[in-house]
C-alpha cells in the first residue's frame, strides 16, 4: 500500500479534489444560469424560457448525485485526514446548497405562467431587480468558494443584509398593490413567493460564503450575521384605500 | 493498531453509531416539539409561546453542530467502509434536514405577532390543521429513520401528496379571503407563508423518509414521487366579489 508522501498517491488525491471542485464549479455555473434565465423569463413573460428552467433543474440534481457518489468513494478509498477530510465534507455541503439554489430558481420560473396570465403590476420589475442583486451575490459566493477567497466570502456575507432590506421593502410594496386593487392579488401573491425564493437564494449564497470561510480558516463565521429581514413583522393597513 | 474483527473496536464503533443516532433522535424530538408549539401558538395567538419557539431554534442548531463534529471525527479516526460510511454520511444529511425543519417551524412562529394584531380569519384554523398533518408525517419519518423502518418510510413518502393537496386548497382559500376584504390581506399573506413553510416541512420529512430507504436498501426512492402541489399555477379571479 502506498504510504504518506508517496508522489503517486498525493498527485492522484489532488486530482480527485480538483475533479470534486470542478463538479462544484459546474453546479455553480448551472445555478447561476438557471437563476439568470428565471429572472429574464419573469421580466419578459417568456413562458417557453421559464419551462426550460423548470425542466433543466434536474441537470443540477444529476451533478449533485455525482458529487455525493464521488465524495463517498473518496472517503472510503482514500481515508483522508484533517484538511482533506474537511474539504470533502464541505464539498458535500456546498453541493447540497447549490442544489437548493437551483430548486429556488426553478420555483421562481414556475410562476411565470400565472404572472403572464395576470394583470401587469409594477412590483414585478422590483422583484427582478432584487433577483439581479441576488444573482450577483451568488456569482461572488461561487467564485469565493472555488478560489478559496476569504475576503470575497466575507464581502458576500455582508451583502446579505442588502438583500434582506430589498425583500422587506418589496414585501410592503406588494401588500400595498394588493390592497389598491383586488385584481392585483393573484400576481402580487406569486411575486411574494418569488421574492421569498430570491431571499432564500441570498441566504444560501451566504451559507456558501460561510463554508468558504470555514474551509480556509477552520473557524466559523456564524455569529453576528447581519439580518435585516423584517417582513415577518410587517403589517400594512388597508385604510388608506378605503376612504 | 486494532484490526478488523477486534471486539473492542467493533463495540466501540457501534457505540459511536448509537451515539450519532441518539443525537439525531434528539434533533427529531426538538423539531417535533418546535413544530407542535409553533402550531399551538398560532392557534391560540400565544405570543409568549411563539417567542420561545423562535428563541429555542438555536438548540437544534447546537445539536446539529455536535452531529457534524462527531461524524467528522468518526470519519477521520475510524475510516469506516461501505455500510458504516453510508450510515455516517446519511446522519449528516438527516441532521441537516432536521435543522431546516426547525428553521421552518421558527419561521411559522415569527408570524404569530402579526396574526395576533390582525383581524381573525377562518383560514388560520385550516393552516393549523395542515400543520397537524405535517407534524404527524414528521413524527412518522423521524421514527422510520431511527428504527430503519422501510415500510414506514414508504408510507410517509406517499402521504406527501396529501400535504400538497391541502396546501393547494389552502392557497386558493387564502386568496379568496384576500379578495373578499382588503383587511384580510395582511393576515392571509402571513398565513400563505406559514402554509408554505409547512409544505416544505412535509417535503423535508419526505426527504428524511427517502434517506431511510436508501440507508436500509442502498437504493434510491426518488423517482415517481407523487407531487400534487398546484399552487404555483393558481389564478383566483376577483370578479365574484366585484359585482
Return d(Cα A136, Cα A138) in angstroms, integer. Answer: 5
d(CA A209, CA A205): 6
Which among A79, A179, A235 has the least Cβ separation from residue B117? Answer: A235
Nearest to A75 among B75, B111, B196 (CB): B75
Interface of A with B in 67-106 (CB under 8 A): 68, 72, 75-76, 79, 81-82, 85-86, 89, 92-93, 96
Q: Taking 50 as the threshold, does the pLDDT of residue A221 lie above it?
A: yes
Q: Do B234 and A82 touch (CB under 8 A)?
A: no
pLDDT of residue A225: 61
| pLDDT value, residue A7 | 46
Report yes or no: B118 at the A interface, CB cutoff 8 Å.
yes
pLDDT over 70 at A242, yes or no: no
What span, in angstroms and rounded, lies between the C-alpha atoms of B225 and B3? 43
Q: What pLDDT, on the 0 to 100 scale, is given for residue B16?
A: 93
Q: What percent of chain A has pLDDT over 70?
A: 91
Q: Which residue has the higher pLDDT, B82 or A104?
A: A104
Binned average pLDDT, 10 residues per bin, chain B of 243 residues: 45 88 97 98 97 97 95 87 88 96 98 95 97 98 96 93 95 96 96 97 97 90 68 73 38
Which residues in chain B touch residue A108, judged by CB atoms under 8 angstroms apart?
A: none
Distance (Å) of CA B173 to CA A113, B76, B196, B231: 20, 52, 14, 11
Cell 421559464 belongs to residue = A50
C-beta separation of B138 from B206 below 8 A: no
Decide which of B156 and A240 is more confident: B156
Residue A3: the pLDDT is: 41
Residues contacting B173, CB < 8 A, separation 6+: B123, B126
Suggest the residue from A77, A85, A115, A186 to mutate for an interface test with chain B (most B CBs closer than 10 A): A186
Question: For A201-231, b where at least 16 C-beta lie within 10 A, e where not — what string?
Answer: bbbbbbbbbbbbbbbeeeeebeeeeeeebeb
Domain spans of chain A?
Answer: 7-242
Q: Are A71 and A91 in contact (CB under 8 A)?
A: yes
Of A93, A114, A232, Cβ closest to residue B233: A114
User: Does the beta carbon of B196 lie under 8 angstroms from any beta carbon of chain A?
Assistant: yes
CA distance A189 to A195: 10
Split at pLDDT 50, 70, 90, the class of A227 is low
Lowest mean pLDDT, pick from A154-158, A200-204, B104-108 = A154-158
- Whole-angstrom distance, CA of residue B162 vs CA of residue B109: 23
Q: Is A201 on the interface with B (CB under 8 A)?
A: no
Q: What is the pLDDT of residues A123-147, one digit of tens each?
A: 999 999 999 999 999 999 999 999 9
Superfamily of domain A7-242: Phosphate transport system protein phou homolog 2; domain 2 (1.20.58.220)
With 50 as the cut, is the pLDDT of residue A239 above it? Answer: yes
Out of A46-50, A66-70, B115-119, B237-241, which region has the weakest mean confidence (pLDDT)?
Answer: B237-241
Residue B81 pLDDT: 82
Phi, psi of B13 (to 5 degrees): -65, -40
Q: Taking all residues of chain A, what is their mean pLDDT, rounded to a whole number?
A: 90
- At residue A223 the predicted structure's pLDDT band, cuts being 50, 70 and 90, is low
Alpha helices in chain B (DSSP H): 7-44, 47-78, 82-110, 112-117, 123-147, 150-180, 185-217, 239-242
For B180, the grid coordinates are 373578499
pLDDT band at A82 (very low <50, low <70, confident <90, very high): confident
DSSP A183: G
The pLDDT assigned to B78 comes to 83
pLDDT at residue number A16: 93
CA neighbor of B113 nearest in space, from B50, B160, B188: B50
Q: How many CB pairs under 8 A join A and B?
A: 102
Q: How far apart are CA B92 and CA B101, in angstroms?
A: 14
C-alpha cell recorded at residue B45 = 395567538
Predicted ipTM? 0.85
Q: Are B99 and B64 in contact (CB under 8 A)?
A: yes
Q: Which of A81, A182, A206 to mutate to test the interface with B (most CBs of B within 10 A)?
A: A182
Amino acid at each position: 500500500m502506498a504510504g504518506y508522501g508517496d508522489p503517486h498517491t498525493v498527485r492522484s488525491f489532488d486530482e480527485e479534489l480538483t475533479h470534486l471542485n470542478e463538479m462544484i464549479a459546474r453546479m455553480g455555473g448551472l445555478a447561476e444560469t438557471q437563476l439568470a434565465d428565471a429572472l429574464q423569463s419573469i421580466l419578459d413573460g417568456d413562458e417557453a424560457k421559464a419551462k426550460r428552467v423548470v425542466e433543466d433543474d434536474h441537470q443540477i440534481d444529476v451533478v449533485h448525485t455525482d458529487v455525493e457518489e464521488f465524495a463517498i468513494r473518496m472517503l472510503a478509498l482514500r481515508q483522508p485526514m484533517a484538511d482533506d477530510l474537511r474539504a470533502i465534507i464541505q464539498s458535500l455541503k456546498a453541493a447540497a446548497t447549490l442544489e437548493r439554489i437551483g430548486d429556488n430558481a426553478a420555483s421562481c420560473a414556475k410562476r411565470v405562467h400565472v404572472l403572464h396570465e395576470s394583470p401587469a403590476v409594477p412590483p414585478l420589475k422590483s422583484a427582478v431587480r432584487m433577483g439581479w442583486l441576488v444573482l450577483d451575490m451568488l456569482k461572488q459566493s461561487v467564485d469565493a468558494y472555488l478560489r478559496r477567497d476569504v475576503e470575497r466570502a466575507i464581502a458576500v456575507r455582508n451583502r446579505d443584509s442588502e438583500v434582506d432590506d430589498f425583500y422587506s421593502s418589496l414585501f410592503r410594496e406588494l401588500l400595498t398593490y394588493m390592497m389598491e386593487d383586488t385584481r392585483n392579488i393573484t400576481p402580487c401573491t406569486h411575486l411574494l413567493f418569488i421574492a421569498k425564493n430570491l431571499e432564500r437564494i441570498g441566504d444560501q449564497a451566504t451559507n456558501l460564503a460561510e463554508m468558504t470561510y470555514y474551509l480556509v480558516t477552520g473557524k466559523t463565521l456564524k455569529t453576528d450575521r447581519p439580518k435585516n429581514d423584517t417582513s415577518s413583522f410587517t403589517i400594512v393597513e388597508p385604510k388608506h384605500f378605503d376612504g
